[in-house]
Chain A
């Protein structure tokens, strides 16, 4: 049984839908046994526009034609965005589910559907965007709150611009106060006897001025942050990724593979395994933002912790092979191509670039990088479902950078 749970909180690029459709179709053909594939799209926030935007309609129709695809809609956000339920004509009624009309219904449904508790008592969320500029922070609060409602311990891992969410004394005039929202989560967790770890990457925090000291403790409380929002080395965050609990992000997926006839004992044993494999999709150009370097650093750190990590440069991430980068010392930045070539020998790290993304951009003669393989749709599909760890049951985390 292959179960995919895609969570899309932000706008989904059409190109992403196209390769997803191709991969799902490929998986469906391979498996070719009814009820052995289940693909769930959890849509909220700006991702909901894809259900109405004409440019997406053919792709949705083809996806839904498999009968194995379901769309779970955040009904609270659908109404918030003024989207009319009755106008979703392309959707077959038995393939669409409207999560309860309250802010947490969608997130509760996701937790129950993934069976989060079977994977551990914690529920993690990786946040890489800051408050107010991105509404994903509002969804983050809902996800964490619903973890508590479901008797789970919420964990927050703040990375890149995500470290800004823990800034103290936020006083937005028109928006939901994210800092206060995090404090309320902490209070509620304490009241319920749950942990609520909130860890932020110290490299990202130092770059953004949250750490003034030269030396800090392993877990550092910055005067600029809300209490218990702690800055730490990325490795301490990756320690949490060694565990098998469910971790999501605003653009992410959880893949669950379990063979038929698996016993409860074996299911329990495998769900407690360490170091579930990770697939990182790098979808941004190499230097235009911190996404690519952030994704690579994250991947390297995971691989150093013996977490099998595949990195795929896809969509705009494929720009990495457009030409040879000439980065001088005064640029003050690592050469991304050099990083790939120098780290490709790491035992738990593999690099790939998606051929179709190169073709879409007219990159007909990509730069050859040692250790970076160009992959077809078939090979991309294989990476989505491949099992690094076990021949029985496993989960794979997919995070889009």
Chain B
């Protein structure tokens, strides 16, 4: 289960898989170590980003609804 405090959760469910990949890569590049990005994705998006991002970052996921996932990617 992902712990959520006061952080803003972005909704990326409307993005295509490639555009989500670009957005996450740009955000992660700018992110400081120890910080994370938190967002909602669809199942297809989750399937697409899980492998490339879990290799390099701390990747967590929780299913929150049918076809809606809360994802946390932390840069350590």
Residues of chain A touching chain B, judged by Cβ–Cβ distance below 8 Å, are 202-203, 206, 215, 233-235, 297, 300-301, 304, 334-335, 338-339, 341-343, 346
User: 11 other contacts beyond A234-B18, A235-B18, A335-B26, with CB at 8 A cut-off?
Assistant: A233-B17, A234-B16, A235-B17, A297-B18, A304-B18, A334-B19, A334-B26, A342-B22, A342-B26, A342-B28, A346-B52
A334 surroundings in chain B (CB, below 8 A): 19, 22-23, 26
User: Does B67 have its Cβ within 8 Å of any Cβ on chain A?
Assistant: yes
A340 CB → nearest B CB, Å: 10
**In the bound complex, do residue A297 and residue B67 qualify as a contact, i.e. CB atoms below 8 Å apart?**
no
A188 CB → nearest B CB, Å: 33
**In the bound complex, do residue B48 and residue A300 qualify as a contact, i.e. CB atoms below 8 Å apart?**
no
The 7 listed contacts between A and B (C-beta, < 8 Å) are A297-B18, A334-B26, A335-B26, A342-B22, A342-B26, A343-B22, A346-B52
In the docked arrangement, what's the CA distance between A234 and B28, Å? Answer: 23
User: Does B11 have its Cβ within 8 Å of any Cβ on chain A?
Assistant: no
Within 8 A of A (CB), among B23-54: 23, 25-26, 28-29, 44, 48, 52
**From B17, B26, B48, B67, contact of A339 by CB (8 A):** B26
A133 CB → nearest B CB, Å: 25
In the docked arrangement, what's the CA distance between A155 and B18, Å? Answer: 22
In the docked arrangement, what's the CA distance between A235 and B47, Å? Answer: 12
- CB-nearest residue of chain B relative to A234? B18
**In the bound complex, do residue A339 and residue B18 qualify as a contact, i.e. CB atoms below 8 Å apart?**
no
A159 CB → nearest B CB, Å: 12
Contacts A215-B67, A235-B48 given: A300-B18 contact, CB under 8 Å?
A: yes
**In the bound complex, do residue A300 and residue B16 qualify as a contact, i.e. CB atoms below 8 Å apart?**
no
Interface of B is mostly: helix
B21 surroundings in chain A (CB, below 8 A): 300, 304, 343
**In the bound complex, do residue B19 and residue A297 qualify as a contact, i.e. CB atoms below 8 Å apart?**
yes
A206 surroundings in chain B (CB, below 8 A): 16
- CB-nearest residue of chain B relative to A296? B22
In the docked arrangement, what's the CA distance between A215 and B13, Å? Answer: 10
A346 surroundings in chain B (CB, below 8 A): 52
**From B16, B26, B52, contact of A202 by CB (8 A):** B16
**In the bound complex, do residue B29 and residue A342 qualify as a contact, i.e. CB atoms below 8 Å apart?**
yes
**From B19, B44, B52, contact of A304 by CB (8 A):** B52
B43 CB → nearest A CB, Å: 11
Q: How many residues belonging to B are interface residues under a CB distance threshold of 8 Å?
A: 15
**In the bound complex, do residue B19 and residue A341 qualify as a contact, i.e. CB atoms below 8 Å apart?**
no
B52 surroundings in chain A (CB, below 8 A): 304, 346
In the docked arrangement, what's the CA distance between A235 and B17, Å? Answer: 8
A172 CB → nearest B CB, Å: 31
**From B18, B26, B44, contact of A338 by CB (8 A):** B26
A300 surroundings in chain B (CB, below 8 A): 18, 21-22
B23 surroundings in chain A (CB, below 8 A): 334
- CB-nearest residue of chain A relative to B56? A345
Of A202, A297, A335, A342, which is in contact with the most chain B CB atoms at under 10 Å from its CB?
A: A342
In the docked arrangement, what's the CA distance between A301 and B18, Å? Answer: 6
A234 surroundings in chain B (CB, below 8 A): 16-18
- CB-nearest residue of chain B relative to A346? B52
- CB-nearest residue of chain A relative to B21? A300
**From A215, A233, A335, A342, contact of B25 by CB (8 A):** A342
A341 surroundings in chain B (CB, below 8 A): 29
**In the bound complex, do residue B67 and residue A203 qualify as a contact, i.e. CB atoms below 8 Å apart?**
no
Contacts A203-B16, A215-B67, A235-B17 given: A343-B25 contact, CB under 8 Å?
A: yes
B67 surroundings in chain A (CB, below 8 A): 215
